Amino acid sequence: MKPQSTHEVTNQTPPLEGYNLFASDPVLAAAVDREGAHWHAEALVRDGARIGKPEILALAELANRHAPELFTYSPRGERIDTLEFHPSWHRLLELLREEGLHALPFSEPRPGAMVARCAGYFLHAQLESGSLCPLTMTFASIPVLRREPALFAALVDKLYSREHDPRDAPLDEKRSMLVGMGMTEKQGGSDVRSNRTRAFALDRGGRGNAYRLVGHKWFFSVPQSDAHLVLARAADDEGLSCFYMPRFAPDGTRNAIQIQRLKDKLGNRSNASSEVEFLDAFGIMIGEPGRGVPTIIEMANYTRLDCVIGSAALMRAALVQAIHHARHRMAFGKRLAEQPLMRNVLADLALESEAATLLFMRLARAFDAHLAADAGELGADSDAERAWRRIVTPAAKFWVCKCALEFTGEAMEVLGGNGYVEESPMARFYREAPVNSIWEGSGNVMCLDVLRAIERDPPGMQALLAQWRRNTDGHAVLGTALAELEALLGGPPDAREVLARRLAQHIVLCAQAVSMLEAAPAASADAFIATRLGQGAGRCGRVYGTLPASFDHSAVIARAFEH
């Protein structure tokens, strides 16, 4: 007897694929043009189309389902500490390097190069997060390594190469390289000044000379990298120094870095993070002795910007999935996107995503100004641009990365049960969301960095406030918010630390409000400012979907995702 069908499958949302991630994002496209990277738009259109193809989107799920494996010993019992990745991981890294996202502003310097790189990074971060880690660290290592001319000359071709070379071999035999980081230890975490790893000079010691390192790292990112930058103490009476530690020693043997295990992480599963021990590992001191933390801070500034971009990209990826679902799914006789309360939620999410995008692109402009100043362009890095980079970047890292957790959860709720299962990318987005809040300094660390940056650069903060006042265009709500910010800044010094989170939040919301006024439709900017900084902000709380009833929710949703 022929079995009967129990039901017909209807009212299910088709997969979101075959779309152009750049062309369907008018906010990003306009920001690329406004911030000086119009020359890169054609490459972004091409890359956006490639990322949206079904076979490329599938790489993300494969790379996260087939996590990296550690092989400590060879079949003959030799210590090898090597990792094996699924081919999808290597394809993802190929795509990233082909677009120059590991080095573009340094390898091909020109006005707007940092903006171009950040836009491309944002597109790829919507595809898969774990593969970004090695690219971010390699990128951030370049300005540090460039300050060591002899070492950099030996590495530059492989650092700048647009080819991904996955071989675990001495660097002389490879066509490209990746650079990782190893900063934190068991006893300290973010308090790297408590690090106990020791460095012993092989000869005279000092900058540019060889050392042997003994100690451990509790989080050693991307252990398969061709080199790592690490912190160690070369003398009891001085601070930490920074060292370049290659995967292979100068004689071609594996450096004495033993991988104890890989971290079993909540998310970021495609990427390997490890615990290691150094047993007389070879390293070269970079920067001045005892000045390792200031040396590495420059690297951290770039990685923190990438954390902001990565979180903004998770928000964007979750948003387009939610809008796509709402445009197809029927409930109670209407499509979800036609229902007033759902439109309010989606429009509110769209405004949050837009503000995050505008913020990181504005920060990219400030980093471009810094690179121009480094290249000798007089007056490029003004007090205000310096403040955007030094003060707003950690505030943005604190706030946008925090928002991504709530945002991805809300977007998942739009899909309901279908969003909660592993077949949906929403589960992966949600698991990825916390990492950027933790990596490179958790929330309190960021807020204290904001406080220190303000205290060290009062002219920068004043220039930033002056710039924002000029850009308010007489906006009453934002004008009041800026006055409140100035009052916070002028409060009792002994109360600033306990209020550091409030201060950082206020700074970044003002920065986003100014950016929205500059670039978003007036109605969108007004709605964002009213619900985040206005008198109604307290009543709205942190729940999405509380925009005014009179707001044109449909127009914002249509503009957010043109597909």
Q: Is residue 117 part of a domain?
A: yes
Q: Are residues 134 and 235 in the same domain?
A: no
- 8 in a structural domain: no
Element (H, E) at 478: helix 476-489
- Distance (Å, whole) CA 297 – CA 310: 20
Query: For the chain, what percent of residues have pLDDT higher than 70?
Result: 99
Phi and psi angles of residue 86, each rounded to the nearest 5 degrees, phi first = -65, 145
445 plus 313 within the same structural domain: yes
Beta strands in 47-103 (DSSP E): 69-73, 79-84
Question: CA 415 to CA 329: how far, in whole Å?
Answer: 9
Strand partners, 243: 230, 285
Residues 413-434, mean pLDDT to the nearest whole number: 96
Residues 6+ apart with CB under 8 A from 532: 509, 512, 513
Q: What is the mean pLDDT of the chain?
A: 95
- Domain presence at residue 18: no
Q: Show Cβ contacts of residue 520 under 8 Å, excluding neighbours closer than 6 positions.
A: 27, 354, 358, 528
86 occurs within a structural domain? yes
Q: Do residue 479 and residue 493 come from a single domain?
A: yes
- 10's CB contacts (< 8 A; 6+ apart) are none
Tell which residue, 552, 504, 501, 310, has the closest CA to residue 408: 310
Between 535 and 204, the more confident residue is: 204
- Give percent of the chain above pLDDT 90: 90
> Looking at the structure, do residues 303 and 198 belong to the same domain, yes or no?
no
Residue 482 structural domain = 294-560
Enumerate the β-bridge partners of residue 330.
335
Q: What is the pLDDT of residue 114?
A: 98
Q: By mean pLDDT, which of 196-200, 316-320, 352-356, 436-440 is the weakest?
A: 436-440
Token pair of 303 as six digits:
């990685």
- Does 21 fall in a domain? no
Q: What is d(CA 280, CA 229) in angstroms, rounded to the nearest whole number?
A: 16
Listed residues 289, 308, 338: the one ending a domain: 289
C-alpha–C-alpha distance, residues 257 and 529, integer Å: 51
Query: What is the CATH number for 458?
Result: 1.20.140.10
Distance, in Å, from the CA atom of 56 to the CA atom of 104, rounded to the nearest integer, reads: 22
Write the pLDDT tens digit of every residue in 485-538.
999 999 888 888 999 999 999 999 999 999 999 999 999 999 999 999 987 675
Q: What is the dihedral of CA 115, 116, 117, 120, to 10 degrees?
A: 120
Are 154 and 208 in contact, with CB atoms under 8 Å apart?
no
Over its C-alpha atoms, the chain yields an Rg (Å, rounded) of: 24
Distance, CA of 429 to CA of 203 (rounded, Å): 49
Same domain membership, residue 245 and residue 315 = no
**Regarding beta strands 227-233 and 179-182, do their DSSP bridges make them parallel or antiparallel, or are they unpaired?**
parallel
Assess if residue 17 is contained within a domain: no
Write phi, then psi, for 307 (nearest 5 degrees): -65, -40
Amino acid of residue 515: S
Residues 422 and 543 both lie in one domain: yes
Query: Structurally, how many domains does the chain consist of?
Result: 3
What is the mean pLDDT of the segment spanning 422-449?
A: 95
pLDDT at 1: 59
Task: Report how far apart, in Å, the C-alpha atoms of 193 and of each of 141, 189, 197, 441, 528 are.
Answer: 20, 9, 11, 14, 41
Q: What is the pLDDT of residue 507?
A: 98
Is 255 in the same domain as 309? no
- Residues 512, 403 contacting (CB under 8 angstroms): no
Token code pair at residue 470: 């000029």
Q: Report d(CA 75, CA 530) in Å as an integer.
A: 65
**What global pTM score does this model have?**
0.96
Q: Are residues 56 and 154 in the same domain?
A: yes
Other C-beta atoms closer than 10 Å to the C-beta of 312 total 32
Same domain, 384 and 531: yes
What's the pLDDT score for residue 152?
98
Does 187 share its domain with 103? no
Q: Look at residue 329 and tell me if it is in a domain.
A: yes
Q: At what angle do helices 340-374 and 500-519 cross, to 10 degrees?
A: 90
**Can you give the CATH number for the domain in which 193 is found?**
2.40.110.20
> pLDDT-based confidence at 342, cuts 50/70/90?
very high
Verify that 242 and 300 share a domain, yes or no. Answer: no
pLDDT at residue 154, as a whole number: 97
How do residues 81-112 score in pLDDT, each as one tens digit?
999 999 999 999 999 999 999 999 999 999 99
One domain for residues 299 and 283: no
Q: Which residues, 6 or more positions from 510, have their beta carbon under 8 angstroms from its beta carbon?
A: 468, 478, 481, 482, 485, 533
CA dihedral 394, 398, 404, 405 (to 10 degrees): 150
Report yes or no on 15 lying in a domain.
no
Q: Tell me what the mean pLDDT of segment 343-356 comes to.
A: 98
Among candidate residues 272, 289, 306, the one where a domain is terminated: 289
Pairing verdict, β 273-286 and 227-233: unpaired
Give tens-digit pLDDT for 255-289: 999 999 999 999 999 999 999 999 999 999 999 99
pLDDT classification of 374: cutoffs 50, 70, 90:
confident
List all residues 6 or more positions away from 180 whose beta carbon is below 8 Å from its beta carbon: 134, 137, 220, 221, 222, 223, 225, 227, 228, 229
Given a cut of 60, whether residue 541 has pLDDT beyond it is: no
Q: Are 528 and 351 in contact (CB under 8 A)?
A: yes
Last residue of a domain, one of 95, 130, 160: 160
Least confident span in 125-129, 166-170, 348-352, 494-498: 494-498
